[in-house]
Amino acid sequence: MITTTLYSLTGLILFGMGFHTLIIHSHPLRKILAVNVMGTGVFLILVATAYVPLGQGDIDPVPHAMVLTGIVVSVSVTALALILACRVQETSNLALLKRRNQRKETKETRA
């Protein structure tokens, strides 16, 4: 019981941390990572739901199936988000990665 609660709480905290980063930070890569952390939090709660101590009844297969499906979905979505972020950076001057590098370059040239 304590194990389940502990893992579920950790999952909730991960979800909250991911949400916070998604809202606060503007860097595209951080946003993508934040969404992944949120997803991991949800999966952790699901796995904790399915936890049964050894020898005490059968394991519930449904949450495991849900986590597997969820992981597949999140991998494909992350791939799409990464390629979109790359495109945004290529086509627009507003991308943050580029601006940081430029700032660094200007500093170096000044130095």
Partner 1 sequence: MFQADTPAWIIAPVVLPLIAGLFCFLFKRRIFIIALAAALANFFVACFLIYQFLVFGSMRCYIGGWQPPLGITLRADGPALLMLLMTAVTGLAVTLYARGYFSCRIADSERAGRHQRQQRYFWPLWMLLLAGLNGLFLSGDIFNLYVTLELVAISAASLAALSGKPASQRASFRYLLISLLGSLTYLLGVVFLYRTCGVLDLDLLRNLSGNGAGVRAALALLTVGLLLKTALVPLHFWLPPAHANALAPVSVILSALVVKGSFYLLFRFWFELFSPIVTQAGLNFMGALGAVAIIWGAVQAIRQQRLKLMVAYSTVSQLGYLFVAFPLSRAVEGAQVWSIVIFIALTHACAKSAMFMVAGSIYLHLGHDRIRDLAGVRASLPVTVFAYGIAGVSLMGLPPSGAFIAKWMLLSSSLVSGQWWWALVIVAGSLLAMVYVFRVMSRFFVIPEGEPLKKPAALSPLLEWPALILALISLSLGLLAPWILHILSQGTVGLVRVFPGGLS
Interface contacts to partner 1, rule CB under 8 A:
15, 19, 22, 28, 31-32, 35, 38-39, 42, 45-46, 49, 61-63, 66, 69-70, 73, 76-77, 80-81, 84-85, 87-88, 91-92, 94
Distance separating alpha carbons of residues 86 and 19, to the nearest angstrom: 22
Q: Closest approach of Cβ 37 to partner 1, in Å?
A: 10
Q: Closest approach of Cβ 107 to partner 1, in Å?
A: 26
Tell me 56's DSSP state.
S
**Which one, 52 or 84, has the nearer CB to partner 1?**
84
**Which one, 56 or 92, has the nearer CB to partner 1?**
92
Distant-in-sequence, close-in-space partners of 40: CB < 8 Å, separation ≥ 6: 11, 14, 18
Q: Closest approach of Cβ 111 to partner 1, in Å?
A: 32
Q: What CA–CA distances, in Å, run from 22 to 54, 55, 105?
A: 38, 41, 28
**Which one, 92 or 109, has the nearer CB to partner 1?**
92
**Which one, 61 or 111, has the nearer CB to partner 1?**
61
Asked if residue 96 lies in contact with residue 27, where contact means CB atoms within 8 angstroms, the answer is yes
For CA atoms 43, 45, 49, 54, the dihedral sign is: positive
